[in-house]
Amino acid sequence: MAVSEITVEEVAAERNEPSHRRALRDWICRKPLGAAGAFVVLFFIFLAAVAELITVYDPVANSFESMHVPPGAAHWFGTDQFGRDILTRIIFGARTALLVGFLASVVGSTLGLVLGVTSAYFGGRFDLIFQRIMDVFMSFPLIIMALAVVSIFGTGIQNVILAITIPFIPRCARVVRSSALAVREIPYVDAARTLGFVHTRIILRHMVPNVMAPYLIMLTTFMGQAILLEASLSYLGLGVQEPTPAWGLMLQGGAEEYAESAPWIPIFPGLAITTAVFAFNLFGDALRDTLDPRLRSE
């Protein structure tokens, strides 16, 4: 281990570049698909961040002079039934999708992380009861659970985030718990107890950092799923409401009526959803391969 590290550093020094940059380049060469995924994700983040600067049309204002305009020089992706530019709405929609995707997956998997490790740490009866509660939550399909939450709390972007977060918690908790169970058996956890640390410190400081790999994998997987869920909820009319630009909503507005007469209305938001979810999944897979030493082939 130490030997290989030294050689990597030496080689990097020879080439006169920092070792982390070299490590990144190595990773890109080894995982071109994952790197492509990461690139697309970064591209969407960039679009969402500078949406105002790179678009010329208003994403929400109707314009009845330019309804159903097919893709062309003025409107690259065409316009929808209200005359709004589809490219503009996709770019602003990325903002909604990423906001929901990031918040729901980060909050959901982080809560799951803490709960999963806690469950594994205490074990015994606490673990048993806690896991059965998680089972109850997991017995609902993701979309049904999200639907239930939205019907209780109402629509709106905060509630959509909540609706997607809640079903993520038990899924992450389950996966993290299984890793944490193995960590629990390693002597340093008992060693921490012999040093007189309180439970919360052992859980948060000594165990949580050791289950980062499964956590990060769940996190990236959830991001794709969250974007898909948000689109589904919006499509069903239970998510983000008009006129906020959201991919699922654009799909719903266009799919039924205009599939034949103006196919660009549903096609482009559909492509955006597919691309984003695919990119997140590719990135997540590559990350899993990199972080999981058992899958590493060197």
Partner 1 sequence: MPNLLEVRDLKTQFFTSSGTVRAVDGISYDVEEGETVALVGESGCGKSVSALSILRLIPNPPGRIVGGSVRFMGQNLLDLNDEGIRHVRGRQISMVFQEPMTSLNPVLTIGLQLTEMMELHLGLNNEEATRKAAEYLDMVGIADSKRRLKQYPHHLSGGMRQRVMIAMALCCEPRLIIADEPTTALDVTIQAQILEVMKDLSQRLGVALIIITHNLGVVARYADRVNVMYAGKIIERGNARDIYKNPRHPYTLGLLHSVPRMDLPRKEKLDPIDGQPPDLTKLPEGCAFRVRCRYEVEKCGVEVPHLESIGTGHLSACWQKNDLHNAAAGVSS
Report the interface residues with partner 1, using CB under 8 A: 1-2, 124, 186-188, 190-198, 205-206, 209-210, 212
Closest listed residue to residue 108, CA positions, set 142, 133, 74: 142
Give min distance, CB of 215 to partner 1, in A: 13
Candidates 216, 244, 204, 218; CA nearest to 97 is: 244
Q: Nearer to partner 1 by C-beta: 185 or 257?
A: 185
Contacts of residue 86, defined as CB under 8 A and 6 or more positions apart, other chains included, come to 75, 77, 78, 79, 80, 250, 264, 265, 268, 269
Q: Which residues contact 40 (CB under 8 A, 6 or more apart)?
A: 275, 276, 278, 279
Question: Please, which residue, 190 or 257, has the CB nearer to partner 1?
Answer: 190
- Spatial distance between the Cα atoms of 75 and 86, rounded to a whole number of angstroms: 8
Q: Tell the smallest beta-carbon distance from residue 194 to partner 1 (Å).
A: 4
| Least distance between partner 1 and beta carbon 124 (Å) | 6
How far apart are CB 182 and partner 1 at their closest, in Å? 12
Residue 197 Cβ vs partner 1, minimum distance, rounded to whole Å:
7
We find the least distance from the C-beta atom of residue 212 to partner 1, in angstroms, to be 8
Please report how close the Cβ of residue 201 comes to partner 1 at its closest, in angstroms.
8
